[in-house]
Chains A and B, each alone.
Chain A
């Protein structure tokens, strides 16, 4: 593992992974208000990650494909929004949000299949993936995709291979309007705040930054002109790691281990106290 990408959390790991080194959180900022829907980021993503291009078809909108797929990790979603004499074409970059508290990682039972680096990037390691698809249900944003070819799960890596050598992700490099920016999370929060103020001054009173705290914040943040209604962009209003994930991890598994151990102790204790019941009345030599 490269020195600047130390692992902070690893799936199904019994040992703490975080070491002594500290790294600044990196983040991606998506400004939906300056996205022109050119899809350069989609192409850059496919090219850098050596993903075969999927056959596109006419959806009747400015959207390339209907959904994310195992070899399509970055989709500009298109929505026509019409309300109160307002009409807008909404472009939203759908991809892994790189949550601070990743539901996928918490749900994963395969050690090291999902890792979160010190800098906040959440990455899938297909070599350790067992193809159970638990991460798909654990993700509040419906991002991971199971490949029928390999039986393993794929998603945006935030170009961890580029970031680890000091480059920005491929989509950032391709964006012609700087709707996509890359930097430290703190730096981008400041930039986003300024942009939100600008938008408010321009009449978008509800403009806001989408950095949902229900998952501890995300390292992919989105500026929304209609920030009070993230649903119209296809974003959940208040995403949280599904309750069952934590319930299974912190309650069921420890409780199950204790109960099963008590079961073994109980049977052992019974055997030590009462021994084996021999057949009575039987003639034995």
Chain B
């Protein structure tokens, strides 16, 4: 174990290591703060998702038991989303620049099927088009969930048409968000080997970077 680790660099990227730089045989992908924020967001997404699913359909009401029953699930749910949003903000600010859409992303999208068949797609920067889509969709979706959620949190103090709009909208985004996160998790853990460590150790191997984000590796190498 330790021998092979030595070949791919330090176990965890040092806190002071700057993103997108080479560190021996590995590339620093996410700074410590980004990783902490990501797992903060992940934790409160899961909590908000499970407590919300309990209210989505009586089929999932058993999930409310995780929170001490329906009443407490309902009481905690909005607070989970407040904490989720607090963690999301620094992530959004950090990534809004690199997540800007470019012409290369359009080409990546037309090669999406090939990527899912595990063929390589050249000219991919730090984030591919799929990741950018997930970023923008979850930012927008999160905002809609937050706004409609506040309406549902304080229904009696807001106009009725706003409520009529918020309930179904909250549920539509819930469904889409659940599916998006399912694929986000699937792709980064089960499907694409060597990806998860970007969010745990903060680093990826050069070969992974070359396979998935060749242009990003070139840029990091030139630094």
Report yes or no: A111 in contact with B175, Cβ–Cβ below 8 A.
no
CB-defined interface of A242-285 with B at 8 Å, one 1/0 digit per residue? Answer: 11100110001101110110011001001100101111111111
The complex places the Cα of A44 from the Cα of B32 at a distance, in Å, of 66
Report yes or no: B75 in contact with A279, Cβ–Cβ below 8 A.
no
Which of chain A's residues has its CB closest to B155's CB? A133
Q: Is A184 an interface residue (CB 8 A)?
A: no
Contacting A at CB under 8 A, from B165-218, are 165, 167-168, 171-172, 174-175, 178-179, 182-183, 186, 190-194, 205, 207-208, 210-211
CB-defined interface of B149-166 with A at 8 Å, one 1/0 digit per residue? Answer: 000100110001001110
Contacting A at CB under 8 A, from B85-124, are 116-118
Residues of B within 8 Å of A167, CB to CB, are none
The complex places the Cα of A243 from the Cα of B174 at a distance, in Å, of 20
Report yes or no: A151 in contact with B55, Cβ–Cβ below 8 A.
no
Report yes or no: A244 in contact with B4, Cβ–Cβ below 8 A.
no
- Nearest CB of B to A143, in Å: 12
Which of chain B's residues has its CB closest to A266's CB? B183
Residues of B within 8 Å of A244, CB to CB, are 164-165, 167-168
Q: Is A131 an interface residue (CB 8 A)?
A: yes
CB-defined interface of A73-116 with B at 8 Å, one 1/0 digit per residue? Answer: 00000000000000000000000000000000001011100000
Residues of B within 8 Å of A151, CB to CB, are 71, 75
- Nearest CB of A to B112, in Å: 13
Report yes or no: B118 in contact with A136, Cβ–Cβ below 8 A.
no
- Nearest CB of B to A130, in Å: 4
Residues of B within 8 Å of A131, CB to CB, are 71, 74-75
CB-defined interface of B34-69 with A at 8 Å, one 1/0 digit per residue? Answer: 000000000000000000000111110100100001
Contacting B at CB under 8 A, from A106-142, are 107, 109-111, 128-134, 136-137
Report yes or no: A276 in contact with B70, Cβ–Cβ below 8 A.
no
Report yes or no: B194 in contact with A260, Cβ–Cβ below 8 A.
no
Q: Is A13 an interface residue (CB 8 A)?
A: yes
Q: Is A12 an interface residue (CB 8 A)?
A: yes
The complex places the Cα of A242 from the Cα of B167 at a distance, in Å, of 11
Residues of B within 8 Å of A165, CB to CB, are none
Residues of A within 8 Å of B172, CB to CB, are 252
Q: Is B147 an interface residue (CB 8 A)?
A: no
- Nearest CB of A to B203, in Å: 13
Q: Is B140 an interface residue (CB 8 A)?
A: no
Report yes or no: A283 in contact with B7, Cβ–Cβ below 8 A.
yes
- Nearest CB of B to A139, in Å: 10
Given contacts A130-B74, A137-B155, contact A276 B193 (CB under 8 A): yes
Q: Is B73 an interface residue (CB 8 A)?
A: yes
The complex places the Cα of A260 from the Cα of B180 at a distance, in Å, of 10
Residues of A within 8 Å of B165, CB to CB, are 244
Report yes or no: B193 in contact with A279, Cβ–Cβ below 8 A.
yes
Q: Is A43 an interface residue (CB 8 A)?
A: no
Residues of B within 8 Å of A132, CB to CB, are 55, 74, 152
Residues of B within 8 Å of A267, CB to CB, are 182-183, 186, 190
The complex places the Cα of A100 from the Cα of B189 at a distance, in Å, of 51
Residues of A within 8 Å of B64, CB to CB, are 130
Which of chain A's residues has its CB closest to B179's CB? A263
Residues of B within 8 Å of A270, CB to CB, are 116, 186, 191
5 cross-chain pairs, A with B, having the tightest CB-CB distances, nearest first: A130-B70, A256-B175, A281-B207, A263-B179, A279-B194
Instruction: Known pairs A130-B70, A279-B194; list 12 more (Cβ under 8 Å).
Output: A111-B58, A111-B61, A130-B64, A151-B75, A242-B164, A247-B168, A256-B56, A256-B57, A260-B175, A260-B179, A274-B118, A282-B208
Can you list 26 contacts pairing A with B, beta carbon distance less than 8 Å? A13-B58, A14-B58, A111-B58, A128-B70, A130-B70, A133-B152, A136-B155, A146-B156, A244-B164, A248-B171, A252-B172, A256-B171, A256-B175, A260-B182, A263-B183, A267-B182, A267-B190, A271-B190, A274-B116, A274-B117, A276-B192, A279-B208, A279-B211, A281-B210, A282-B8, A285-B3
